[in-house]
Structure 1
Amino acid sequence: MTTKARVKILPLMAVGALALGVAACGSGGGSGEGLTGELTAAGASFPDAFYQDVIGKYLDNEAPDANIEYDPTGSGTGKEKFSEDLVDFAGTDSLVSDEDGIEADSFYYVPTVAAPITIPYNLKDVKELKLSPDTLADIFQAKITKWNDPAIAKDNPDAKLPSTEITVAHRSDGSGTTSNFTTYLDDASDKWKLGAGDTVEWPKNSKAGEKNTGVADIVKKTEGAIGYVDLADATELKLTPAQIKNKDGEFVEPTLEAATAALEGAEVNEDLSYNPLNATGAEAYPITAPTFLLVKAEYDDAEKGKLVKGFVEYVLTDGQKAAEDNNFAPLPKELADKALKQLDKVKTKK
């Protein structure tokens, strides 16, 4: 199946005009003109809807003689394939660690978009649910096992909570979504004891699903289930998300506007990694996750190197216009400009 056949168009969700400005670069600077060849990539499923859409647009409008395929294997597998030189670039929602086997000077981070990690639940008679970080932590480590637990009731004094058993849904694969979600819990709640990473030791009575779509499917089909899912898949399956209490004490829904508010306060590191999780701000959604592409510092194949640079340039310019269509927040213009400068460092052999 070609990449073009897998493009997913999801409902438009507007972001305030004053929030995140799309990097203004006209037509992407002719980033595909005359480029040929094929690229293979793999990694994060979290931004898959955005990447598939942008790849389709790039191939149709900028580089019709090229082909790019992105396989949403999960961040862990993407980093593994990148380390083994099996892909030309990789997607990841988590940062590279020593265990990934990727040399520090062999790649660059390129931030692309960001989005809320939603906490969808399946309770047919509960239309609105609020969860504080401590309550959320105890639910996902199975210390709270029924929906009418006093801790949940304290967060939701007006809700009629059932005695239904809670089913926790989590990722079965190494996942940047898992890394960001558990990193948030580790930072926001002293009660969280499972650590943070692409994988953690979940309670034995929980259910595992492959990729964001697998977790979303468990939640949709299981009465009493709760999970963590990217906004795109949660929206596509019409899941009901909980409101999460942020650092300023406000319960906030997972919207693009709330993700934008979280990004505004994020500190960007020199390598362009950044962390908007548990950000301050009354309107900030606290589980807002970044996502990145990993590109090689140098490409031995000049044709591939030029195509990678052309495509990623497009992602950071015209491609940003597709972010909201796919339920992602575009990068702030300042960060997109820094990412373009990062891309300029990539070398291609003649």
Structure 2
Amino acid sequence: MNRNTRYRAGLAGVALAALALTGCANGDSAKGDAATGGYGDLTGELKASGASFPDAYYQEVIATFKDAAPKVTVTYNAVGSGTGKEEFGKGLTDFAGTDSLVKDGQGPKPGEFLYVPTVAAPITVSYNLDGVAALKLSPDTLAKIFQRTVKVWNAPEIAADNAGVTLPATPITVVHRADGSGTTSNFTKYLAAASPLWKLGSGDTVAWPADTQAGNKNTGVAQLIQQGKGAIGYVDLSDATETKLTFASVKNKAGEFVAPTLAGATAALGGATVAADLSYSPLDSAGAGAYPITAPTFLLVKAKYADAEKAKLVKGFVKYLLTDGRAAAAEVHFAVLPEALKAKALAQLDKI
């Protein structure tokens, strides 16, 4: 039984009670929703695509939303942030998921869409190295590994981060995303911010060295790491945990080596600055306990829908995702938004 099926099975038969309880626990009044008709009067279909990074969370929310709105069908296709933005810009989907911001000429045009932040999660630095169950990596060491300046596991730079650890002379295989990816964008943005040694730039795609390997989606990268002795790559916490990968602790701005956990992600969120359009980044966040490669993820919604019923559906689903749906987040390794940012995200829906 996979994580989605297992969690939904736990909700079976108690969906209404669970929604009521989580609404109270998160300060989201189920009673208030009921007074305004709740979600039961919604009907229709929503199509979306985009980032694979938040897919586990979105699929859980879609499953429980079916209990709250049985006459609505929502589909989310995890094709990567780049493709999701393109499909949304072409009008092929009703909303999109992305872990990176929209650049000029990429997807929808300025003024046509709104950012709605949803959850955040650590991007793990996962590795496959026999005999090394705990690894520490500083930003400069990570930059050298992923640029292929450091090519063996017992290199002096890695040894300096891991005093007392016996490292093998195993060759390092770097694994990265093949598709246009917000996970790549956030990982490379982190390296650009945290290490002056990083020279490959940042974006949904970058020019990786020729002797690296590429996998589609987070799951593809996870699979290559799992299969390759000496491999290292970047994978969201949910997929890394599901595939039982081993991941490193990363040195943050405060000088601490922090493991990728929801507590570390929550600490990073606390240090993030939010822009007027609700874009924000917790990457390389200052503060004790912050996991430095914590990535945000967003939904892109239209500022104006031609069909009023479609707009009502989008607003209903996104409201649920930000409120009652948050009960699923921790189960699949995502950190929920701080209350102040959640309130701002909900207010975005009033602009549609």
Q: Please give the range of the TM-score, normalised by the shorter of the 2 chains.
A: over 0.9
Query: Which of 36, 46, 63 in structure 2 is aligned with 1:56?
Result: 63
CA distance in 2, matches of 1:320, 1:338: 16
| Aligned-partner SS, 2:105 | helix
CA distance in 2, matches of 1:54, 1:107: 22
Q: Show the counterpart of 1:303.
A: 309
Q: Show the counterpart of 2:81.
A: 75
Q: CA deviation at 1:23?
A: 4.7
Q: Give the partner amino acid of 2:139.
A: P
Query: Does residue 283 of the first structure (1) align with residue 289 of the second (2)?
Result: yes
CA distance in 2, matches of 1:186, 1:257: 24
**Which of the pair has the greater relative contact order for Cα pairs under 8 Å at 6+ separation?**
1
| Aligned-partner SS, 1:159 | coil
- The alpha-carbon distance between structure 1 residues 187 and 160, as it changes in their structure 2 partners (threshold 3 A), is same
- The alpha-carbon distance between structure 1 residues 175 and 183, as it changes in their structure 2 partners (threshold 3 A), is same
Q: Give the partner amino acid of 1:29.
A: D
CA-to-partner distance for each residue in 1:297-337, whole Å, 9 max, x for gaps? 01112222111110000011111121111100001011111
Structure with more helix by fraction? 2
Query: Which of 257, 271, 280 in structure 2 is aligned with 1:274?
Result: 280
Query: Which of 41, 49, 60 in structure 1 is aligned with 2:48?
Result: 41
CA distance in 2, matches of 1:302, 1:6: 35
CA-to-partner distance for each residue in 1:188-235, whole Å, 9 max, x for gaps? 000000000000011111110000000000111100000000000000
Count of aligned pairs: 333
CA distance in 2, matches of 1:64, 1:6: 22
- The alpha-carbon distance between structure 1 residues 23 and 300, as it changes in their structure 2 partners (threshold 3 A), is farther
- The alpha-carbon distance between structure 1 residues 146 and 118, as it changes in their structure 2 partners (threshold 3 A), is same
Q: Show the counterpart of 2:123.
A: 117
The percent of aligned pairs where both chains have the same amino acid is 61
CA distance in 2, matches of 1:110, 1:192: 30
CA-to-partner distance for each residue in 1:150-176, whole Å, 9 max, x for gaps? 000010111110111100010000000
Q: CA deviation at 1:99?
A: 3.0
TM-score, length of structure 2 as denominator length: 0.92
Q: Show the counterpart of 1:335.
A: 341
Whether the 8 Å contact between 2:50 and 2:81 is mirrored in structure 1 is: yes
CA-to-partner distance for each residue in 1:244-287, whole Å, 9 max, x for gaps? 00001110000000000000010111101101000011200000
| Aligned-partner SS, 1:298 | coil
CA RMSD of aligned residues (A): 1.8
CA distance in 1, matches of 2:152, 2:130: 15
Whether the 8 Å contact between 2:40 and 2:71 is mirrored in structure 1 is: no
Q: Give the partner amino acid of 1:292.
A: F
Q: Which runs of 4+ in 1 moved over 3 A?
A: 5-12
- The alpha-carbon distance between structure 1 residues 194 and 322, as it changes in their structure 2 partners (threshold 3 A), is same
Query: Which of 238, 243, 250 in structure 2 is aligned with 1:244?
Result: 250
Q: CA deviation at 1:101?
A: 4.1
* Structure 2 unaligned residues grouped into runs of 5+: 11-23
- The alpha-carbon distance between structure 1 residues 22 and 108, as it changes in their structure 2 partners (threshold 3 A), is farther
CA distance in 2, matches of 1:266, 1:323: 20
Whether the 8 Å contact between 1:10 and 1:232 is mirrored in structure 2 is: no
| Aligned-partner SS, 2:56 | helix
Q: Give the partner amino acid of 1:113.
A: V
- The alpha-carbon distance between structure 1 residues 270 and 122, as it changes in their structure 2 partners (threshold 3 A), is same
CA distance in 2, matches of 1:22, 1:49: 22
CA distance in 1, matches of 2:72, 2:321: 16
Q: Show the counterpart of 1:94.
A: 100
Query: Which of 25, 29, 33 in structure 2 is aligned with 1:29?
Result: 33
Q: CA deviation at 1:9?
A: 4.8
Whether the 8 Å contact between 1:22 and 1:331 is mirrored in structure 2 is: no
CA distance in 1, matches of 2:331, 2:217: 21
Give the alignment of 1:257-268 within 5 angstroms: 257-268=263-274
CA distance in 1, matches of 2:6, 2:102: 30
CA distance in 2, matches of 1:7, 1:29: 26
CA distance in 2, matches of 1:319, 1:167: 38
CA distance in 1, matches of 2:105, 2:129: 39
CA distance in 1, matches of 2:171, 2:299: 39
Query: Does residue 193 of the first structure (1) align with residue 199 of the second (2)?
Result: yes
Whether the 8 Å contact between 1:74 and 1:174 is mirrored in structure 2 is: yes
